[in-house]
Structure 1
């Protein structure tokens, strides 16, 4: 008769349970996969599939009783690690969203908003355009594969049951302010060009007070703003590569991976 001991069952449960929660927390919080566009059932299936592929290649997991307090603490640790990885990726995507919102407000398109299907909130159309653009570039350049590679390495560098927040991680947290700076750098040429346009309208109003600047200034700002966005798309790939390299390197630093 085939019998299984409690130690064998506990070893199997810990070998699959702890990686399952880290992978699931990452897929629930990371962009693209962790959005409302992907059903929860699909994310669960992806979590199980990735877990089945990774577990045979991972280092041994600590053996714990699945119903003990220590198991709950280890599960909480894994959820925090996975959510931390997803949070870093969310910051990278939100740099482009912030850039689009700043540019939309500057060119007068702040009122033109639409529901973002990924987050369920209203955002300017320029911000939504930047969101779709960075999503397509992220998938086209295999950014998701780099994320899964870092995730696999994190089980060796941040093993289950190890410390989560160290001095190393607090130093990395201080670098996360680059998101606002990155968003400003993305649209700084456009903001400068629109500022010159507004200054030109101000000079025209001063030179010819009888000119109704509100009737021509607003549509001209919109048209010139769209032209500036179109011209700025010529350099968006180089800017994306720089920001993506910094974001993925920050993710590696968080995971203490090579």
Structure 2
């Protein structure tokens, strides 16, 4: 009769359970897969499938009792690591969302909003346009495969049980300013062009006060804004590549990869 000890059962459970929690936390937080467009059950099934593929190729897991306090701490640590990686990807995506919202406000399109199906909140339509655009670019350039590669590498460079340092959380917090700066840089050409348009309307109003310039200023600003966005979209690929490289490099820094 086959007899199994508690240590053997705990080792088998830990070998699968610890990677599963890190993978599931990443898929629950990361863009595209971690949004409301993908049901939670589908994300869980995908986490199980990835764990089944990765576990046989991972380093040995700590031998702990599956129901002990130490196992609970290790599970919490894996959830924190996975959520940290997913949140870092969210920063890269939200740089484009911030750029779209800033441009919408400058061109007077801030009143036109729609429900973002990924987050369930109301956002300007131009911000939603940039969100869909960067999502398609991310998938077309196999960004999701790079993320899964970094995830698999994290079990080697940041193994289960080694622990997180405060530098990881400080690094992620420090990148919040980077996201806002990246969004401003993306929107800077459009902001500058729209500022010139508004200054021209102001000069015309000052030169001819009897003319109601602002009656045509609002629709003309909208038209000019759309033209500027259309012209600027020709360079969106190079801007995405720079931000994607920065974001994916940050992922590798977080898991201590070279």
**TM-score with structure 1 setting the length:** 0.97
Q: Paired residue for 2:141?
A: 141
**Contact between 2:201 and 2:214, CA under 8 Å: does it hold in 1?**
no
* 1:187-226 → structure 2 map (5 Å cutoff): 187-226=187-226
Distance 1:172 1:94 in 2: 14
Q: Which moved more, 1:150-159 or 1:192-201?
A: 150-159
Q: Paired residue for 2:162?
A: 162
- Compared with structure 1, are the counterparts of its residues 179 and 55 closer, same or farther at alpha carbon in structure 2 (3 Å cutoff)? same
Structure 2: gaps spanning 5 or more residues: none
Secondary structure of 1:31 counterpart:
coil
Distance 1:183 1:23 in 2: 29
Q: Paired residue for 1:37?
A: 37
Distance 1:37 1:143 in 2: 18
Deviation at 1:221, TM superposition (A): 0.2
Deviation at 1:86, TM superposition (A): 0.6
Q: Which moved more, 1:148-157 or 1:217-226?
A: 148-157
* 1:13-24 → structure 2 map (5 Å cutoff): 13-24=13-24
Secondary structure of 2:161 counterpart:
coil
For the aligned residue pairs, the C-alpha RMSD in angstroms reads 1.2
Q: Paired residue for 1:4?
A: 4
Q: Paired residue for 1:95?
A: 95
Q: Paired residue for 1:232?
A: 232
**Contact between 1:172 and 1:253, CA under 8 Å: does it hold in 2?**
no
* 1:47-126 → structure 2 map (5 Å cutoff): 47-126=47-126
Deviation at 1:23, TM superposition (A): 0.3
Distance 1:176 1:140 in 2: 26
Secondary structure of 1:22 counterpart:
helix
Deviation at 1:170, TM superposition (A): 2.7
- Compared with structure 1, are the counterparts of its residues 131 and 229 closer, same or farther at alpha carbon in structure 2 (3 Å cutoff)? same
Deviation at 1:172, TM superposition (A): 5.7
Q: Paired residues, what number?
A: 258
Distance 2:195 2:159 in 1: 51
Structure 1: gaps spanning 5 or more residues: none
